[in-house]
Amino acid sequence: VKHLLSIADLDRGQIIDLLDMADHMAEVGRRPVPKVPALRGKTVVNLFFEDSTRTRLSFDAAAKRLSADVMTFSASSSSVNKGESLRDTVETLTAMGADIFVVRHRSSGVPRRITEWTSASVVNAGDGWHQHPTQALLDCFTLREALCSSDLSGVRIAIVGDVRHSRVARSDVLAFTRLGASVVLVAPSTLLPPDIASWEVDVVHELDAVVADVDVIVLLRMQRERMDQALVPSLVEYTGRFGLTPERARRLRHGAFVMHPGPMNRGIEITVDPSSLPGSLVTRQVTNGVAVRTAVLYALLEGASSEVVR
Ligand code: NCD
């Protein structure tokens, strides 16, 4: 494949191949010198029109592990502020030799549109409410690692919170179910997407209904910047029904895992310190993000020759 725009474009076998490649990249990352020459001479452009900490920096680290050159564009300090269009920006960076664009944008569909304006590969690093495929891959990778299993068959996963505004939830649901997991969404109806009937998931409206039964809980951030109307009566009430509180953490199954893509709103969707939970995978998610993004850059730029990196 040339681009990674949505988990919907990947079948189970392609997801497993990327995760297996990420296992190999994680091994590279543990070496004293965590670097291979695989993408020497290639240029990775980080094109971020929306704020990001871990996604941007982990793509940056991933490109460097592969010895690629990295150019980082941030909208806030660019000629976009002088009115330059997205298309002109992409054409300018293509003319500078970009081989791959890593794109984050607040509007859904922007990464796909960019593929029409450049010969370079495009990775979607989060577009609006739509997709964030590398987050879903790193979540799958982290669960495979935690469960010591090659896929997620038979695993019951709850995704809790602001599903409506969440590209992470849209991506996770597709990836988790393709790997054999079953998913239950836990949210008030105002925070569910309008097309929920077509999703392959169960839905409940209280975290207490499933907290003691699931193998994995994925907490989502309350996306206050995407809410143009009050969709929850109050944040205190939200925490009361959907937050991972100390009482609910005590009711988790023995061996259950807790995940959060970050950034966390402490005190809202989570009121326990995740580092105090034995099953917390939050920091593993961040560490694994680099290995997974390394695998994605490698697969898109060198995939055809697909020889394993040494
Ligand atoms: C998420 C995002 O930006 O989509 N964060 C991330 O990439 N780790 C989730 C969020 O913003 O809540």
Nearest CA among 291, 188, 183 for reference residue 241:
188
Confidence class of residue 307 from pLDDT cuts 50, 70 and 90? low
Give the highest mean pLDDT range of 66-80, 83-97, 207-221. Answer: 207-221
Confidence class of residue 82 from pLDDT cuts 50, 70 and 90? confident
The burial class, CB within 10 Å (0-12 / 13-18 / 19+), for 96 is: exposed
The pLDDT of residue 84: 80
User: Which ranges in 132-270 belong to alpha helices (H)?
Assistant: 133-147, 167-178, 235-242, 246-251
**Least confident segment among 65-69, 102-106, 222-226, 261-265:** 222-226
Give strand ranges (E) for the chain.
Answer: 43-48, 69-74, 100-105, 121-127, 156-160, 182-186, 202-204, 216-219, 257-259
Rounded to 5°, the CA angle 271-134-54 comes to 50
Structure token digits, residue 302:
């060198």
Question: Quick check: 249 and 273 in contact, CB under 8 A?
Answer: no
Pairing mode, if any, of strands 156-160 and 257-259?
unpaired
Q: Bigger pLDDT: 306 or 181?
A: 181
For residue 221, the ligand 1 atom closest to its alpha carbon is: 12
Residue 124 beta carbon below 6 angstroms from any ligand 1 atom: no
For residue 125, the ligand 1 atom closest to its alpha carbon is: 7
Give per-residue burial for 28-55: e unless 16+ CB within 10 Å, then b.
bbeeeebebebbeebbbbbbbbbebebb
Q: Which helix (H) or strand (E) is 291 found in, with range?
A: helix 282-302
Residue owning tokens 């298309």: 87
Q: Residue 152 in 3-state DSSP?
A: coil
Q: Is the pLDDT of residue 9 over 80?
A: yes
DSSP label of 46: E
Please compute the mean of the pLDDT values over residues 282-298 and round it to a whole number.
Answer: 98
Residue 135 beta carbon below 6 angstroms from any ligand 1 atom: yes
Question: Quick check: 136 and 174 in contact, CB under 8 A?
Answer: yes
Long-range Cβ contact pairs of 232-238 (< 8 A, separation 24 or more): 232/188, 232/190, 232/191, 235/268, 238/188, 238/268, 238/269
Sheet holding 182-186, edge to edge: 202-204, 182-186, 156-160, 216-219, 257-259
What would the pLDDT profile of 240-285 be if each residue is shown by its tens digit?
Answer: 999 999 999 999 999 999 999 999 999 999 999 999 999 999 999 9
Mean pLDDT of all residues belonging to the chain: 94
Question: Quick check: 310 and 287 in contact, CB under 8 A?
Answer: no
Structure token digits, residue 82:
């002088």
Q: How far does residue 37's CA lie from ligand 1's centre (Å)?
A: 30
Long-range Cβ contact pairs of 272-280 (< 8 A, separation 24 or more): 272/244, 272/245, 272/246, 277/249, 277/252, 279/252, 279/255
pTM above 0.85, yes or no: yes
Q: Residue 102 in 3-state DSSP?
A: strand
Q: How far does residue 304's CA lie from ligand 1's centre (Å)?
A: 30
Residue 168 beta carbon below 6 angstroms from any ligand 1 atom: yes
Residue 56 beta carbon below 6 angstroms from any ligand 1 atom: no
Question: Quick check: 175 and 139 in contact, CB under 8 A?
Answer: yes
| Rounded distance between C-alpha atoms, residue 1 and residue 21, angstroms | 14
Confidence class of residue 305 from pLDDT cuts 50, 70 and 90? low
Residues near 3 by beta carbon (within 8 Å), at least 6 away in sequence = 111, 115, 121, 122, 123, 300
**Least confident segment among 54-68, 80-94, 110-124, 260-274:** 80-94
Residues near 67 by beta carbon (within 8 Å), at least 6 away in sequence = 35, 36, 37, 38, 39, 40
| Rounded distance between C-alpha atoms, residue 139 and residue 171, angstroms | 10
